[in-house]
Amino acid sequence: MALKATVFKVSVQIADIDRGYYNDHQLMLAQHPSETDERMMVRLLAFAMHASESLTFSKGMCVEDEPELWDKSLSGEIDLWIEFGQSDEKWLRKACGRAKEVQLITYGGRSVPIWWKQNEAAFARYNNLSITNIPEDAVKSLGQFVGKNMSLQFNICEGQIWISDANNSLLIEPELLKGEH
């Protein structure tokens, strides 16, 4: 019998001073059986970083032609395509052709600089691609927030992200590898 996804209920309060976005979201976040808690939390972090009324989690890991997180217009155009990990050039080329903006969130620790050095020149030609790296220590610390019912606050200012709940707080300083703030 196949393993099923674990579902988490997440209440998120976002105060993004950089974008002027202030809102609360009630989310159901499905964790694929092969996904770590830390990776799931990176997806939630990406949601907070790009939050809007129309940003949604897709079927993601289970569907080859969809990102894991996207923002679609009312007419069905993909305004924002968000991917995770160290994607290859072919996959990102496809995403850049289908979406107005593509955001790749890397989180692989020491392997990211090696991957970036190998791919930087190829990625330079995609004007609608931004790449942000989440530092390894921050990714590891995200696990402290995981629970079946989470209530999290995200405060974003000058590129810094403060995450907190009733018991913990964490400062994350994402590193922009490609794109604009």
Neighbours of 98 (CB within 10 A): 15
Number of domains forming the structure of the chain: 1
- pLDDT tens figures, 34-78: 899 999 999 999 999 999 999 999 875 555 678 889 999 999 999
Rounded to an integer, the average pLDDT of 131-152 is 96
What local confidence, expressed as pLDDT, does residue 180 receive? 75
> CA 61, CA 77: separation in Å to the nearest integer?
21
Q: Is 9 among the domain residues? A: no
Higher pLDDT, 61 or 160: 160
What local confidence, expressed as pLDDT, does residue 61 receive? 56
Q: Is 10 among the domain residues? A: no
Q: Is 5 among the domain residues? A: no
Domain of 169 in residue numbering reads as 16-178
Residue 151: CA count within 13 A, CB half-sphere? 2
What local confidence, expressed as pLDDT, does residue 10 receive? 97
> CA 114, CA 128: separation in Å to the nearest integer?
23
Q: Is 162 among the domain residues? A: yes
For residue 41, give the CATH number of its domain.
3.10.640.10
Q: Is 8 among the domain residues? A: no
- pLDDT tens figures, 90-141: 989 999 999 999 999 999 889 999 999 999 999 999 999 999 999 999 999 9
Secondary structure class of 37 (helix, strand, coil): helix
What local confidence, expressed as pLDDT, does residue 58 receive? 82
What local confidence, expressed as pLDDT, does residue 5 receive? 83
